[in-house]
Structure 1
């Protein structure tokens, strides 16, 4: 099983993935259960309109209508909570993919298997992709199934598109943590740097339309590629997905390069 690094990585995460899935299903259930009590409340839309522009830009998607199922889920779940949860998972797994093996003194055992460093990192990246996609799929299934229970009718194709874009967003930050952890061997540094990048790019995307000097770089934010095209209502944006995929692949390549040049002795 040591030669199937991706499979062993997922096997080691099995309990954590169960816990993450249960938590996500519970969060979605909470928001779905609240829908019947808010759908006929026009005051909520009025409240959003009266919010300060900066706050609305950061925490409420432009053009989203709280009185519709898609607008409600976009504002309450997909704008902040769902990305936050899955990014925490992706960054955590990415930062410990290699650095965690070193912290637990299992890297020698892993390197003793008949696999190259590049293969190890690539399979760790595959495990990151599969784990993140699994949680995004669980989120999407929960939205459709639990939404049906509470008359929260969401377009299945729109939910699929939103989950694909969400996976791409999380993999970008997971890739940052993976590359830094592999290149330095420090999981804490990898988590901290990725977390700082999450905050900076979130602010750039949210404040870009209001701050003239941020507007030119807004489209560089992974959050722009995730939400600017409103995938829940309009479907997938293949150019945006391509940006996320290419960014992740570049980060994996950086991780391979950095890991190959490190001295793991001592």
Structure 2
């Protein structure tokens, strides 16, 4: 099989993520930039509550371009694109199985672990296109309004956010390979993303949770620092390492998955068999 053909296939299969997410990212970026002058006029002479200022992170005031983008774009857009990434990630394994194309894929002369790795690369490319589409939206908005923030800092902020999307896409791939159905994998991954986001947000507002939020991937993906020229590469490397570890676990789970057993294969099928055995045991004993 040609090199990276599965990566290209995964990218094509994730076109909804790339195109739909890209349009969303571009439109929101453009809208936020065009709205900034009116937002700044409304808030520059107002003492904002401390909790609103804290959402800007290292970027400082909400009334500055950096603080405004950190609070609005880099808060709303990533959590939305995470959903796209989860859908694409589960499609890589459980999606092929539910569509009935997994047997054709496995019939090719290629190892299962390579299927996971190449599909991970294709999905990573799709979510990258979706997020980076926000850059031309910002640049276009800057042509019409005064929005003074350099392109290098914008690119750095995007690069600081990408590993967050990679991580949840990798988690979705793992769950898609380990859980019996795609619907279950999507539900668990989405619940995990929402829980992590809630904990991170509450950790900003509640002092008692300030340490707990450091365990969430949203804490490590801090675009506000990059927007002020303080791009901490090590934070991105931590997220990339976790994402790579999840992809490796997904490869192991996919290697062990009982495709021939249908959707309820592997450990899930064994669990159900043991459970049914325990349920019928008292009846048989009584008989």
Give the TM-score band, short-chain normalised: 0.7 to 0.9
Give distance in 1, aligned partners of 2:189 and 2:63: 35
Give distance in 2, aligned partners of 1:132 and 1:15: 10
Paired position in structure 2 for 1:143: 138
Give distance in 1, aligned partners of 2:241 and 2:251: 15
Paired position in structure 2 for 1:19: 20
Give the root-mean-square deviation of aligned CA atoms. 2.3
Paired position in structure 1 for 2:266: none
Residues 1:116 and 2:117 are matched in the alignment: no
Give distance in 2, aligned partners of 1:165 and 1:44: 31
| Displacement over 4 Å in runs of 4+ | 209-213
In structure 2, the gaps of 5 or more residues are 263-287
Q: How does 1:92-241 map to 2 (within 5 A)?
A: 92-208=87-203, 211=206, 214-227=209-222, 230-241=225-236
**Deviation sequence 1:212-249 (CA, Å, 0-9, x none):** 65333322210100127622113321121111011001
CA shift in 2, pair 1:15/1:86, >3 Å: closer
Give distance in 1, aligned partners of 2:88 and 2:9: 13
Paired position in structure 1 for 2:74: 78
Do the aligned partners of 2:7 and 2:119 also contact (CA within 8 Å) in 1?
yes
Give distance in 1, aligned partners of 2:242 and 2:190: 17
The structure with more radius of gyration: 2
Do the aligned partners of 2:178 and 2:257 also contact (CA within 8 Å) in 1?
yes
Give distance in 2, aligned partners of 1:242 and 1:145: 30
CA shift in 2, pair 1:169/1:114, >3 Å: same
CA shift in 2, pair 1:192/1:44, >3 Å: farther
Do the aligned partners of 1:144 and 1:154 also contact (CA within 8 Å) in 2?
no
Per mean C-alpha deviation after superposition, the further-off stretch among 135-144 and 82-91 is: 135-144
Per mean C-alpha deviation after superposition, the further-off stretch among 253-262 and 125-134 is: 125-134
In the TM superposition, residue 104 of structure 1 has moved relative to its aligned partner by 0.6
Give distance in 2, aligned partners of 1:15 and 1:218: 31
Using structure 2 for the length normalisation, give the TM-score.
0.82
Total equivalences in the alignment: 259
**Deviation sequence 1:42-98 (CA, Å, 0-9, x none):** 36853x316xx4x775xx23463222111121112112x111221111111111111
Give distance in 1, aligned partners of 2:249 and 2:147: 43
CA shift in 2, pair 1:25/1:220, >3 Å: same
Do the aligned partners of 2:89 and 2:123 also contact (CA within 8 Å) in 1?
yes
Give distance in 1, aligned partners of 2:118 and 2:182: 18
Paired position in structure 2 for 1:41: 42
